Structure 1
Amino acid sequence: MGWNIIRVVTLLVYLFMFLPVVIVILLAFNSSQFGSFPLTGFTFHWFDVLWNDASIVRALKTSLILGSMTALVSTTLGIMAALALVRYNFPGKNFIATLLIAPILVPEVVLAVALLLFLRWLELPKNFFMLLLGHVIFTLPFVVLVVQARLTGIRRDYEEASMSLGANPLQTFFQITLPLMLPAVLAGLLFAFTISFDDVTGTLFWKPAGTETVPTQIFAMLRNSISPQINALGTVMIAITVLLPLLGAALTRRLSRTPQS
């Protein structure tokens, strides 16, 4: 009886979490311009409207460029930070490790306001580079944690054996260490992209005037009315943020099973 209650409660929690998402997806294909049930017909018209809306296409391009650049910078810095924290001992190591993880512990709105005030104190205008910097600060801890966990499980003997056979540290990293931790690197890359692509709180504070991402574009559209375009744009966003992690998980699993030569 107790387990049955737990199953029912669990099912209700999942319904509460995901039913609104399902409703948004269904309404995106509804032929009616009013978001109501029952559905009056099936259509791709609202996606065609999205494609022909210059502001939405521009916001999507901005989100993809920003997410890709954030993922690239955060992953590169995350790999170097994880290598330093796992493989080397130096003064202030614990402090630096805590500093790298701190953005996860601080509420995002506090972090957004703090960075905005810091930029104003430096008398720097808001621009795309500052927006990228904010996203990197917010996503870097996730990459560090994922790569660091993987790197801890890689024995140092492999790297020492490589260098004893004549390879320099750079060759050892690219031929031994990086292939062994590649699943974690790809996971961190996808984490950084997805978090950056979905971010709305920090982006609202950091974005320059005239620059919109997909989340901020949806937020701006909601100020006027709830239109089918919002449902269609939300569906596109859901597809990107769900399919990419699934693809990354499948690729990571495949790489983990592939024997390293």
Structure 2
Amino acid sequence: MGGGLGRRLVSAWAVLVYVFMFLPVAVVVLLSFNASQFGSFPMTGFSFRWFVELAQNDAILRAFRTSIILGLLTALISTTLGVLAALALVRHRVPGSNAVSTLLIAPILVPEVVLAVALLLFLNALGIRKSFALLLFGHVIFTLPFVILVVQARLVSIRRDVEEAAMSLGAGPIRTFFEITLPLMAPAVLAGALFAFTISFDDITGTLFWKPGGVETVPTQIFAMLRNSISPEINALGTVMIVLTVGLPLLGAALARYLSRNG
């Protein structure tokens, strides 16, 4: 009886924690469909007015384009470098591999604000000014460890003798990689790319330090809008962000399961 009561208390506490975490998100989504100009309850009606105005806001559209381009480039570079690094660390004997692995994973162990300030000060000392390239470089540094960890975990589970069998039948290392190893790693590569894109798209701490003047991403645009006033457009923009950042990982997980099942 005592054990059953304990489980019920733990379950109730878990429910309260989830409510505390996700209730503000639900409020933002609800208010984004509020017909009133004032974001408050009770809602005066259901409307897509703020999404229409959002689509007509040039500053927000520019921020979306910047975030999407930045996220895609970050995902491309981080995934490419992450796959190469994982292959080197798992499939080859690299001198000081433990130290190299720790160095590559270090950015996720350091608070992002510390990493952002350190990179900015280092590049300022070299005389390199803020630019889109610096912003992209910072996002790659921050997202690369996530790709490496995901791909490494998958690569360790791939049997080496499958690749050796392909090479014993005459396939070279490059052909073996593209026809055997890469298809087997595909779910992890896809998951790593989606991780990199989502993290880059959502990032604000590092972006505030690295972005040049006149360049805004979606998170920094929201931050700038909040400093002036709380517009209903912010709720609509938040809903779009929620759909993207939640929908993409779910889509990636579904595709990864599909690829794994077919593989």
**Normalised-by-shorter TM-score class:** over 0.9
The reply to whether residue 96 of structure 1 matches residue 100 of structure 2 is yes
The letter of the residue matching 1:227 is: S
Partner in structure 2 of residue 176 of structure 1: 180
Asked if 1:78 is matched to 2:82, the reply is: yes
How far apart are the structure 2 equivalents of 1:150 and 1:89? 18
1:228 to 224, 228, 232: 232
Q: 1:150-208 CA distances to partner (integer Å, 9 max, x unpaired)?
A: 00000110111111111110000000000001000000010000000000000000000
Deviations 1:45-86 (A, max 9, x none): 101111111000000010000001100100000000000000
**Structure 2 residue aligned with 1:211:** 215
Distance 2:95 2:151 in 1: 22
Structure 1 position 28 matched with structure 2 position 32: yes
Amino acid at match of 1:25: V
- 2:133 aligns with one of 126, 129, 132: 129
| 1:6 partnered with 2:41 | no
Tell me what 2:68 maps to: 64
Amino acid at match of 1:31: A
Segments of 5+ residues of structure 2 without an aligned counterpart are none
Aligned length: 259
**Take 1:222 and 1:71, find their aligned partners in 2: how far apart are those partners?**
28
Identity fraction in percent: 72
Task: Select which of 248, 251, 255 maps to 2:255.
Answer: 251
Query: 1 CA distance for matches of 2:249 and 2:96?
Result: 35
Structure 1: runs of 5 or more not aligned: none
Query: After the TM superposition, which parts of structure 1 deviate over 3 Å for at least 4 consecutive aligned residues?
Result: none
Give CA-to-partner distance per residue, 1:2-54, whole Å, 9 cap, x none. Answer: 11111110000000000000000000000111111011001111011111110
**Which secondary structure state, in structure 2, belongs to the residue aligned with residue 55 of structure 1?**
helix
SS of equivalent to 1:152: helix
Deviation for aligned residue 1:99: 0.5
Aligned to 1:41: 45
The equivalent position to 1:148 in structure 2, one of 134, 148, 152, is: 152
TM-score by length of 2: 0.98
- Report matched runs for 1:181-196 at 5 Å: 181-196=185-200
Alignment correspondent of 2:242: 238
Partner Cα separation in structure 1 for residue 133 and residue 173 of structure 2 = 32
Q: Does structure 1 residue 113 correspond to structure 2 residue 126?
A: no
Q: Secondary structure at the match of 1:223?
A: helix
- Counterpart residue identity of residue 167, structure 1: A
Local SS of the residue matching 2:228: coil
Quote the offset at 1:93 in angstroms: 1.2
In the TM superposition, residue 132 of structure 1 has moved relative to its aligned partner by: 0.3
Q: Offset at 1:90?
A: 2.2
CA RMSD in angstroms comes to: 0.6
TM-score (structure 1 length as normaliser): 0.98
The 1-side partners of 2:242 and 2:67 are apart by: 14
Structure 2 SS opposite 1:47: helix
Matching residue of 1:160: 164
Matching residue of 2:21: 17
